[in-house]
Chain A
Amino acid sequence: MKVQLLKLAHARSGDKGDTANIGLIALKPEYYPALVKEVTATRVKKHFRGICKGPVERFEIPNLGALNFLLHESLGGGGTVSLKTDAQGKTYSTALLRMEIDVPRKLFRGHRPKMAPRKKR
């Protein structure tokens, strides 16, 4: 079944120069394997098309049930150079949580998460 990451994870994002980092943290330990399997660097790069101009790197932090993503060339030059409202990538955390991934139905035995709203475009 398809579920939006918002139902599976929380996140915080920040900047280092023109690179944004997004830490994606599983809301429950049992969700972590699905994040590892589905939220690949390639998926994230595609998700952020039009925003991320460089490569995406992914690091696993299993002890925290978390993945860390580095989105290079994503902040319009970064810091003081950038013209963007969000020059520090502070809101990229929830931009990632918009992604929908496939998860095994059994992850939600007993409680069904609300289905993700259909994308308009």
Chain B
Amino acid sequence: MRLVEGGPLDYLVMDYLAEITMSIMQKQKSRDPRLGYAKDFLPLVEHILPRCVEKSIRIIANAGGVNPRACAEAVRGVAGKLGLSDSIRVGTVAGDDISGRLDSFLSRGVNLENMETGESMHAIRERVQSANVYFGAWPIVEALKKGANVIVTGRCTDTGLSLAPMAFEFGWKEEDWNLLAAGTVAGHTVECGAQSTGGNSLVQWQKVPLLAKIGYPIIEAFEDGTFVITKHKGTGGRVDVPTVKEQLVYEMGDPRAYITPDCVADFTTIQLRQDGKDRVRFSGIQGRPATEFYKVSMSYSSGWKAVGTLVYAWPEAYAKAKVADKVVRERLKSMGLKFEEILTEFVGVDACHGPLSGDPSPDIAEVQFRIGVRSQNRDDVERFTREIVPLVLNGPPTVTGFAGGRPKVEEIIAYWPALIPKAEVASVVEIL
């Protein structure tokens, strides 16, 4: 809402899909064919739609999940309730969900090998819970060309959501690699929200103003591929070159080859310049032709895990926590339980930086003992969860933090990244 009300804006772009989200949505859709999209998108739409219509702000969100059509119908429902049915055209981008076609791919030798291990998808076929292609900007551009002012997509790249309005407004072509790379870099810069406007920013973090009302990033784009990252006046946070650099390197692989469905962007060509308060100007960005593949993300069931914690207080907090760890491990062993991994961390001592942490103060006020297990056997994990709370009575003293009761057993949904030739899938763009 702050983005809509706080100053001028032409497009509002939102990312709803974490990797785990797709498998949850598939489960929801299998129980009810009207579900399977980001439900929290609807109250937001209800809140902002009147102002967006009034100010001609178009909305682009990948809130469609595994059911963009149902999401679009729900958006229409909200618009009807607000008396805005005639003011909106809802576009959907689908075709990314390939979960129903996996066997057909395998039978034709499209094996969707794991990008990291090279293993064929056969290994996990029976356990797959969702499978989606990442589309880029062009299906969204198509929806914009067809007049959509609210667009809900299934799986698509975060960068494509932001690149699409630029390509549409400026008439960029599919082989304008430098321009597409520029729009992609813009998308990468804003894709983690306030991480480019001072959130999670390390450099002089104490001086980032007003985190409680931090402004979200805005791309001021130009036809030649230059752009400015800024935020609305009066909001908190900070947009300067060091802050923006931190976001540029976030989740980066090879900086010369940032691969998206739309292009390959070269981050070693980006030139940054402070352009007034809370404005950073980007220029010089170059790109190369897109590859012949889409990235596929599959989720699959991969066993069970649980994590339990207890807190030990001064004195000798760390020593007590170490004894607790020894006790739990001895008991798990004596019961003959089998785990792929048992991991102990001592929060306050080494949970973040491991052996780099150095020795803790001998006078440390408290230490959290944190132990996790993973197994293909749910019963073994379940049995483990009953071993934590009893330690309060049966183990080292001055212990607390057990009010949550037994740790929860969680199903592990793992990811299988793969590539698929672009010719194998087609996006489907509709207007409702």
Contacts and interface: CB of A to CB of B under 8 A. Distances in A.
Interface in A62-114: 62-66, 68, 70, 76-77, 79-81, 83-86, 91, 93-95, 98
- The prevalent SS among residues of B at the interface is mixed
Contacts of B254: 59
A4 interface: no
A111 to B, nearest CB: 16
A56 interface: no
A15 B352 contact: no
A23 B250 CA distance: 7
B358 A119 contact: yes
B356 A47 contact: yes
Given A12-B246, A63-B269, A51 B20 contact: no
B359 interface: yes
Contact of A59 (B256, B272, B343, B354): B256
Interface of B: 19-20, 116, 200, 202-203, 242, 245-256, 267-272, 302, 305, 307, 341, 343, 345, 347, 351-356, 358-359, 370, 372-374, 412-415, 417
Given A23-B245, A83-B373, 19 more contacts: A10-B242, A10-B246, A17-B415, A21-B251, A49-B355, A50-B354, A51-B355, A63-B271, A64-B267, A66-B248, A68-B253, A76-B341, A77-B374, A80-B20, A80-B414, A81-B374, A85-B345, A85-B347, A95-B352
A76 B415 CA distance: 14
Interface string A16-53: 11100101010100000000000000000001111100
Given A15-B251, A79-B19, A51 B345 contact: no
B246 A81 contact: no
A59 B246 contact: no
A110 to B, nearest CB: 20
Contact of A64 (B253, B270, B374): B270
Contacts of B345: 84-85
A84 B247 contact: no
A54 to B, nearest CB: 11
Contacts of A11: 202, 246
Contacts of B256: 59
A115 B346 CA distance: 29
User: Which of A15, A50, A63, A86 has its CB near the most chain B CB atoms (within 10 A)?
Assistant: A63
Contacts of B270: 63-64
Contacts, number: 126
Chain A residues touching B, range: 35 or more
A80 B415 contact: yes
Contacts of A93: 202
Given A51-B355, A79-B414, A93-B202, A64 B116 contact: no
Contact of A85 (B19, B116, B272, B351): B351
Nearest to A86: B352
B252 A23 contact: yes
Given A49-B355, A91-B352, A95-B353, A79 B415 contact: yes
Given A12-B200, A59-B255, A95-B356, A86 B351 contact: yes
Nearest to A61: B255
B343 A16 contact: no
21 contacts: A10-B246, A21-B250, A23-B249, A25-B246, A27-B242, A47-B356, A48-B356, A59-B255, A62-B268, A63-B269, A64-B249, A64-B267, A64-B270, A65-B245, A66-B249, A77-B374, A81-B412, A84-B372, A86-B351, A91-B352, A93-B202
A19 B386 CA distance: 33
B19 to A, nearest CB: 7
A83 B358 contact: no
A23 B252 CA distance: 8
A64 B341 contact: no
B214 to A, nearest CB: 17
A53 to B, nearest CB: 12
